Structure 1
Amino acid sequence: MPRVLIPLAEGFEELEAITLIDLLRRAEIEVVIAGLTEGPVVAARGTVVVPDTVLDSVVEEDFDMVVLPGGLPGAHHLDDDSRVHRILKRHHAAQRYTAAICAAPKVLANAGLLEGRAATWYPGAMMASDYPHIDPRQEPVVVDGQVVTSRGPGTAMDFALTLIGLLTDEARRDEVERQLQRQP
């Protein structure tokens, strides 16, 4: 069973994090939610989530994918955390998936993971001129090698389904989507 780490920081985007957690678990993917600190984490609009663990307890573990939800100031807190950068760089070097949505692709960029890659992010979260070695795209979800990025809350479901397809197979992805009763 694939394992995914989702670090949560104060001010994360609820729709993105909860959609990712829910859909990945529907696909029978093990999701480990790790708070940057002990205790509940308050999201951007006040939703409170109790993580499975604290980041320090899983910082040296290997996962098949590390996924960063966006939201502000959550993405800034993730970017300011050296443990998050260390985890991302280690997984990237091992050719494991790293993924980010909304404002969180900036964390991937600042960790050096988007150099020479196509990526997308929430409008205004990053200025393309500040990252000249990234190929900015407008698509809802962009997969470039082992790095996956997405635009924002409205693309969270497509993002999660893409991640399911990458971690399992298209049949599992399609089954999860069928269960959601999405219109074609």
Structure 2
Amino acid sequence: MASVLVPLAQGCEELEAVTVVDLLRRAGIGVVTAGLDEKPVRASRGTVLVPDTTLNQALKQKYDMVVLPGGLPGADHLNEDLRIRGLLKEMSETDRYTAAICAAPKVFASAGLLEGKRVTSFPGVLDDFDGFDYQTDAVVQDGKVITSRGPGTAMDFALTLIENLVGKDKRDEVEAALQRPQ
């Protein structure tokens, strides 16, 4: 079974976090949500999320993909956490998937993982960085780096993650059950 870690920081964007977790689980993918500490996570709009475990505990196992939800100040907290940066570098060095949405691609930029890549983000988030090819598509994939624009693109983002981890047939199956307009 494919495995995914979704770190949850205080102030994350709940629509992005919950959409990704929900759709990946619908696809039969093993998802672990991990708080940066032991507290429940108060998301950017006040929703309280209860992570499955702490990041320290979650880091004891390996994952096929790490997905960073955006939102502020959530993405800033992820960016400041050296464990997250170390994990992202390890994922990149071992050719595993890293994915980020909204403000979270700046964590990739700070960790030096976007050099020469095609990427997207919430408008303005990556303005202080360079060395990549910025796109305005809803979801942009360059190799094993997948980025997306924001809450409104969260479903397309999650479906892209599913396709990469378990194939187009499973993506189509999950999407059909969602009753999205064609």
TM-score (norm 1): 0.97
In structure 1, how many angstroms separate the alpha carbons of the residues matched to 2:129 and 2:125? 12
Q: CA deviation at 1:124?
A: 1.7
Equivalence for 1:140: 138
Question: Residues 8-19 of structure 1: matches in 2 within 5 Å?
Answer: 8-19=8-19
In structure 2, how many angstroms separate the alpha carbons of the residues matched to 1:84 and 1:179? 33
Q: CA deviation at 1:61?
A: 2.2
Could you tell me the percent identity over the aligned residues? Answer: 60
Equivalence for 1:32: 32
Among 138, 148, 151, the alignment partner of 1:150 is: 148
Alpha-carbon RMSD across the aligned residues, in angstroms, is 0.7
Equivalence for 1:110: 110
In structure 1, how many angstroms separate the alpha carbons of the residues matched to 2:112 and 2:130? 12
Partner of 2:15: helix, strand, or coil? helix
Equivalence for 2:52: 52
Q: CA deviation at 1:126?
A: 1.9
Q: CA deviation at 1:58?
A: 1.9
5+ residue gaps, structure 1, are none
In structure 2, how many angstroms separate the alpha carbons of the residues matched to 1:109 and 1:61? 25
Q: Which amino acid aligns with 1:143?
A: Q
In structure 2, how many angstroms separate the alpha carbons of the residues matched to 1:175 and 1:39? 35
Q: Deviations over 1:120-154 (max 9, x none)?
A: 00012220xx3221100000000000100000000
TM-score (norm 2): 0.98
Equivalence for 1:182: 180
In structure 2, how many angstroms separate the alpha carbons of the residues matched to 1:83 and 1:59? 9
Equivalence for 1:119: 119
Equivalence for 1:41: 41
